[in-house]
């Protein structure tokens, strides 16, 4: 079985940092295959990150997992669309800082639009919300972020990606949600229209 997990969120929310630290931790456990690939713009902003995992055991089977991030910049809509094609699960990385609420919501709305263009329904794809930057003094309480960052009440984690805290928990949770979806017969997540 091969799975594709995509991290999406606003610019500077911590998607690339999360995946970079996840790669480092899993490489130490010999669970990675290939190299960590990061493509950046001239301004040192991440276009996308890609990594591969191998041999994740599940019910007497080994699963290959491909993890990608989408760019946070709105001008890169076509690249987001290409990265999301064939997605099995999403991690919505939220910047928990006060003043980023509207940006988080706009990115979520745009992501739903991109998925709709691809024939997916955001409410039927396994999603985990990752509340990042929980260590910052202006981080909003999760209860305040939930209404506009997690309107469908998906499972969530709290992370400090710069320290690697919570990144493995986030990965385990999205993997569990994707596999649960397949077991429950939800592998067909395209909308009827």
What integer pLDDT is reported at residue 81 of this predicted model?
Answer: 86
Considering only the top CATH level, what class is 2-183? alpha beta
- From edge to edge, which strands make up the β-sheet containing 2-9? 37-40, 46-58, 61-69, 2-9, 89-95, 127-132, 156-158
**Closest CA relative to residue 129, chosen from 141, 117, 146:** 146
- How far apart are alpha carbons 97 and 60 in whole angstroms? 42
What integer pLDDT is reported at residue 78 of this predicted model?
Answer: 78
What integer pLDDT is reported at residue 45 of this predicted model?
Answer: 54
pTM value surpassing 0.85 = yes
- How far apart are alpha carbons 39 and 152 in whole angstroms? 32
What integer pLDDT is reported at residue 162 of this predicted model?
Answer: 96
What integer pLDDT is reported at residue 26 of this predicted model?
Answer: 86
Per-domain residue ranges for the chain?
2-183
- DSSP sequence for 22-57: HHHHHHHTT-B-S--EEEE-TTS-EEEEEEEEEEEE
pLDDT tens for each residue of the chain, 193 residues long: 889 999 999 988 999 899 989 988 988 888 877 777 766 655 555 555 666 766 676 777 788 888 888 876 666 677 888 889 999 999 999 999 999 999 999 999 988 999 999 999 888 899 999 999 999 999 999 999 999 999 889 999 999 999 999 999 999 999 999 999 988 875 454 443 3
Give Rg (Cα) of the chain: 16
What integer pLDDT is reported at residue 43 of this predicted model?
Answer: 55
For residue 117, how far is the Cα from the chain centroid?
19
């Amino acid at each position: 079985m091969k799975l594709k997990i995509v991290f999406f969120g606003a610019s500077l929310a911590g998607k690339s940092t999360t995946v970079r630290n996840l790669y480092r931790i899993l490489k130490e456990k010999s669970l990675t295959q290939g190299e960590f690939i990061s493509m950046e713009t001239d301004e040192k902003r991440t276009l996308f990150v890609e990594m591969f995992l191998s041999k994740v055991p599940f019910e007497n089977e080994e699963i290959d997992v491909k993890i990608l991030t989408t760019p946070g910049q709105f001008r890169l809509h076509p690249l987001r669309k290409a990265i999301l094609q064939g997605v099995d699960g999403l991690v919505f990385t939220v910047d928990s800082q006060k003043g980023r609420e509207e940006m988080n919501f706009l990115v979520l709305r745009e992501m739903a639009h991109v998925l709709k263009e691809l024939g997916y329904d955001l409410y039927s794809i396994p999603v985990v919300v990752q509340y990042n930057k929980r260590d910052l003094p202006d981080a909003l309480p999760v209860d305040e972020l939930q209404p506009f960052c997690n309107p469908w009440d998906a499972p969530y984690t709290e992370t400090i990606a710069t320290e690697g805290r919570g990144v493995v928990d986030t990965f385990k949770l999205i993997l569990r949600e994707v596999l649960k979806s397949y077991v429950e017969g939800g592998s067909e997540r395209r909308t009827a229209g």
